[in-house]
């Protein structure tokens, strides 16, 4: 079901913010997975767990932050615009 209401500038900028944040999160996930992969490829060396731990920690922290940010953006997109 399509509405006849035009998209507001606020929603356009919020979508743009969400897309930019998604690209940044995807990049951080990519770097974190490479870090984990490198850690497991050097399993025989001392300290192999450090890149693995750093990758897992960054994935968890970025995921939590992105979920909070996306909930906030979604809430602001659903707000009705009123002029006072």
Per-residue pLDDT band for 79 (boundaries 50, 70, 90) equals confident
Q: Give every CB contact of residue 66 below 8 A, 6+ residues apart in sequence.
A: 21, 22, 25
- The per-residue pLDDT for range 13-63, each reduced to its tens digit, is 999 999 999 999 999 999 999 999 999 999 999 999 999 999 999 999 999
Number of structural domains (the chain) is: 1
Looking at residue 4, its pLDDT comes to 60
In a domain, 41, yes or no: yes
In a domain, 61, yes or no: yes
Looking at residue 78, its pLDDT comes to 86
Residue 69: give the domain boundaries.
21-77
């Amino acid at each position: 079901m399509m509405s006849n209401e035009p998209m507001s500038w606020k929603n356009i900028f919020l979508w743009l913010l969400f897309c930019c944040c998604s690209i940044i999160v995807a990049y951080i996930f990519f770097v974190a997975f490479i870090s984990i992969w490198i850690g497991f490829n050097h399993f025989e060396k001392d300290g192999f767990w450090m890149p693995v731990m750093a990758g897992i920690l960054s994935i968890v922290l970025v995921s939590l932050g992105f979920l909070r940010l996306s909930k906030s953006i979604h809430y602001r997109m659903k707000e009705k615009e009123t002029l006072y």
